[in-house]
Chain A
Amino acid sequence: MTHIALDAIVKNFGAVRVLDGCSVAVDKGTVMTLLGPSGCGKTTLLRTLAGFVEPDAGRVRVGDRDITDLPPNRRQVGYVFQSYALFPHLDVAANVAYGLRVRRVGRAETQERVRKALDLVSLSAFADRYPARLSGGQQQRVAIARAMVLEPEVLLLDEPFNALDAKLRLSMQIELRKLIERVGITSIFVTHDQQEAMTLSDRVAVMRAGRIEQVGTPIEIYDRPRTAYVAAFIGRANVLAVDVAAGRVVADPAIAAARPDGPAWLVARPENLTLEPGGEGAGWRGTVAFSTPQGATIEYEVATGAPEPLRVVTLRKVGEPPLPVGTPVRVRAVDPAACVVLEDGPDGA
């Protein structure tokens, strides 16, 4: 059941169109990630939902209510800022209590709810600390508690892990995912980190230049990217210029493609390619240009004469050295059906 619906949102900042008819729907109790490079409009879309940005066109709905014209303070939408935006003059408990005080909730109930919220994020011992004396991870948890204590219908998080170091980031991501599942709150994340999107979300919306490029589960997006842009943004991908004739990609061996004849683009993940030494036989021919053993795998770059080298990741056996640079090799798809054939190439080519 759709809980949050952003419908054809348009927003211009001066002459720049930041959102160009963005539509996203999020089901109740699920986690959606808005994923895209900086400047793609993902934060603006989130801010539109919170009411900080007034859209030039389009509607915002939560549940069965149209909240497009509601000011931010009358929306039941929790927001966790990238910088956390904790009130520096208030201690942790007062930060969390802020929304309850504004709502004139009684003293006893406020105390009880603040206590529970701090429990939820394991910060009970820090209730009387000031934000300046908390670590980044603790500040983030205060920001989450401050939003959650109001029991909002929706939780929005703008790059909440950006300010954390890599090690803390992963554990906080998992913690937050668990917390969201426990509370069952519909959530939208904004991130430019595809790994984070994979860890946190039920569904991912990949954004590009103010538009939604593709929406799907993380696995759908990874396995079946609809455009070369999506393929390159989620994980790594080889995007090859090919020709389609009679429902097949003209290659050796041929790959099935439900596309009209003509030029097309083949998307193949590095782990779906394999290589064999020797210049004779089926496959793309080339020479090893670069190789790095990664422990469990070996990553190759194979020069084929195309502008971009082919990236190939193969499993490595114990003791196996990588093929030396300059070795002639043939590259083939492990599972041709797992390759994706697209009509549009990178940058709309």
Chain B
Amino acid sequence: MSRRLSPIDRVGRVVLGALAAFSLLLLVAPSIIVVAISFEPRGFISFPPSGFSLRWYEHVFANRQLTDSVVVSLWVSLATAAIALVLGVPAAFASVRGTFAGRSAANAFLLSPQMMPGMVIGIASLFFGAYFAFRASNTMLILALSVFCLPFVIRIAMARLAGLDPRLDEASANLGAGKLETFARVTLPQMGPALVAAAAFTFIEAFDNVTVALFTSDVRGRPLPVELYYLVQYDSSPAIAAISALEIGLSFAIMLVIARTVGLERLGR
């Protein structure tokens, strides 16, 4: 295929390859270093690790405060993914198929949390809650994260919906199905992979979000990212690296499950 490349093409290929390798390195290297550090047997962070030990993993699992925060984070992330999906899919449907006045304005409004830093959403939620005497709590965290993650779901769902053939809805109606039944029997099944993707991204985003959580989470039952944030301030042991490695493992596992079930290449569609 590439028998006769001009010199410019050849240089281009080399540069492109180098750039790709460099980008990959930037993306992957920190993760690899964190994982490596987590196996350090001594009590401080060093790279490369001086040996191999699982002691910091034991330490993490023995730390009741940390394991509790993982449970909180799991619940918060699941609830956030559920809420974002339940609100986001109909919103995407209205944005793509709707014919009402102000449709694009409504869509822009729904997508706007994406333009805002998480910190702003966190602080805004806190002040807004204070106004109604609604204290920072994990309920507030779930609500704030749902707002923050809604655009992910809407975007993914909209992209998929826009790719669906509207004739299929007409065919369904012609065969006797009402609008809700058409949505349940025709639209939703075809959105399946996209919804799995949206749920997974929302879950992962909610699971490791610090900026929103810092301002809205419960003081006692803190989620993992906040717990880590405080931990880092006085603890510089490889325990942090061990937790990070576990989180990397979790994200990896989720992506693996998706790859095996729906297929990664189908996610976007």
Contacts and interface: CB of A to CB of B under 8 A. Distances in A.
Interface string B97-125: 00000000000000000000000000000
A88 B190 contact: yes
Interface string B157-194: 00000000101101111111110010001100110000
A52 B170 contact: yes
B175 A99 contact: yes
A87 B173 contact: no
Contacts of A51: 173
Interface in A68-107: 71-75, 77-79, 81, 83, 85-89, 98-99, 101-103
Greatest chain A CB density within 10 A among B168, B172, B173, B185 is at B173
Contacts of A78: 174
Given A89-B189, A102-B181, A81 B176 contact: no
Interface string B134-176: 0000000000000000000000000000000101101111111
A5 B190 CA distance: 37
A312 interface: no
B186 A72 contact: no
Interface string B34-76: 0000000000000000000000000000000000000000000
Contacts of B190: 88-89
A65 B165 CA distance: 31
Contacts of B189: 89
A102 B167 contact: no
Contact of B178 (A73, A101, A150): A73
A73 B171 contact: no
Interface in B235-249: none
Q: Determine the interface band of chain A, counting residues with CB < 8 A from chain B.
A: 20 to 34
A85 B175 contact: no
Given A52-B170, A89-B189, A89-B190, A83 B165 contact: yes
Nearest to A83: B167
A29 B175 CA distance: 21
B261 to A, nearest CB: 15
A73 B182 CA distance: 10
Contact of B174 (A73, A86, A101, A103): A73
A306 B181 CA distance: 62
Contacts, number: 61
A79 B175 CA distance: 9
Contacts of A81: 167, 170-171
Given A88-B190, A89-B189, A89-B190, A102 B175 contact: yes
Nearest to B181: A102
Contacts of B171: 79, 81, 85-87, 146
Contacts of B173: 51-52, 71-73
B244 to A, nearest CB: 40
Nearest to B177: A102
A79 B186 contact: no
Contacts of A50: 170, 174
Contacts of B172: 87, 98, 102
Contacts of B185: 98, 101-102
A83 B167 CA distance: 8
Interface in A294-312: none
Nearest to B176: A102
Contacts of A86: 171
Contacts of A77: 174
A98 B175 contact: yes
Interface in A133-170: 146-147, 150
Given A87-B186, A89-B190, A150 B170 contact: no
Contact of B167 (A71, A85, A150): A85
Given A72-B173, A81-B170, A85-B168, 5 more contacts: A50-B170, A52-B173, A72-B170, A87-B172, A102-B176
21 contacts: A71-B173, A72-B170, A72-B173, A72-B174, A73-B175, A73-B177, A79-B170, A81-B167, A81-B170, A83-B165, A83-B167, A85-B170, A85-B171, A87-B168, A87-B186, A98-B177, A98-B185, A102-B175, A103-B176, A147-B175, A150-B175
